[in-house]
Amino acid sequence: MDSLESFAIISSEEVEEIKTALEEGDLCKATEKFCQSLKDIENAPLNIAVTGESGSGKSTFINVIRGLDDDEEEGAAKTGVTETTMKPKAYPHPKYNNVTFWDLPGIGSPTFKPNDYLKVVEFDRYDFFIILSSDRFRHNDMELAKAIQSMGKKFYFVRSKVDSDLNASQKRRKNSYNEENILNEIRNNCFQCLQEGGIQDPKVFLLSCLDLKKYDFNLMQETLEQELPSQKRHVFLLCLPNISFPVLEKKRAALKSQIWKRASLSCAMATIPIPGLSVACDVGILLTEMRKYRDAFGLDEKSLEKLASRVDKDFDELKSVIKSPIAVGEINKELLIKLLCEGVGGSLMLAEYLASNIPLFGTLAAGGISFVITYLMLHNCLKDIAEDALRVLKKALDSPV
149-195 tens-digit pLDDT: 888 889 999 988 888 878 888 778 777 778 888 888 888 888 888 88
282 plus 212 within the same structural domain: no
349 plus 393 within the same structural domain: yes
214 plus 81 within the same structural domain: yes
Whether residue 336 contacts residue 347, with contact meaning beta carbons closer than 8 Å, is answered with: no
31 plus 107 within the same structural domain: no
pLDDT tens per residue across span 60-118:
888 888 888 666 677 777 776 665 556 888 999 988 888 999 998 888 777 778 888 88
211 plus 259 within the same structural domain: no
Among candidate residues 190, 208, 241, the one where a domain is terminated: 241
Mean pLDDT of 380-385: 87
DSSP assignment of 77-96 = PPTTPPP--SS-EEEE-SS-
Cα 219 to Cα 157, 164, 174, 205, 225, distances in angstroms: 13, 20, 29, 8, 10
Threshold 0.75, pTM exceeds? no
Instruction: Give residue 330's region: left, alpha or beta (phi > 0; psi -120 to 50).
Output: beta
The number of domains in the chain is: 2
21 plus 61 within the same structural domain: no
Q: CATH code at 105? A: 3.40.50.300
| Helices 259-270, 277-296: inter-axial angle, 10-degree rounding | 170
Residue 5 has pLDDT above 70, yes or no: no
Among candidate residues 197, 217, 241, the one where a domain is terminated: 241
15 plus 139 within the same structural domain: no
Among candidate residues 241, 258, 290, the one where a domain is terminated: 241
- Proportion of the chain above pLDDT 70, given as a percent: 70
Confidence of residue 266 (pLDDT cuts 50, 70, 90): low
233 plus 100 within the same structural domain: yes
The CA distance from 4 to 1, in Å, is 9
What's the pLDDT at 82? 60
**Residue 225 or 293, more confident:** 293
Which of 231-245, 276-290, 297-311 comes out lowest in average pLDDT? Answer: 276-290
3-state secondary structure of 288: helix
Whether residue 91 contacts residue 101, with contact meaning beta carbons closer than 8 Å, is answered with: yes
Give the domain range for residue 343: 4-42+250-397
- Residue 252 CB partners (closer than 8 Å, separation 6+): 382, 386
pLDDT tens per residue across span 330-340:
776 677 666 66
Whether residue 352 contacts residue 363, with contact meaning beta carbons closer than 8 Å, is answered with: no
The CA distance from 212 to 190, in Å, is 19
Whether residue 329 contacts residue 302, with contact meaning beta carbons closer than 8 Å, is answered with: no
Strand partners, 154: 128
What's the pLDDT at 370? 66
328 plus 229 within the same structural domain: no
Mean pLDDT of 378-396: 88
What's the pLDDT at 230? 74
Q: How many helices (H) and strands (E) does the chain have?
A: 17, 6
233 plus 130 within the same structural domain: yes
Residue 361 has pLDDT above 80, yes or no: no
Confidence of residue 24 (pLDDT cuts 50, 70, 90): low
142 plus 289 within the same structural domain: no
Confidence of residue 23 (pLDDT cuts 50, 70, 90): low
Residue 270 has pLDDT above 80, yes or no: no
Phi, psi (deg, nearest 5) at residue 156:
-140, 140
- Proportion of the chain above pLDDT 90, given as a percent: 5
Residue 360 has pLDDT above 90, yes or no: no
109 plus 82 within the same structural domain: yes
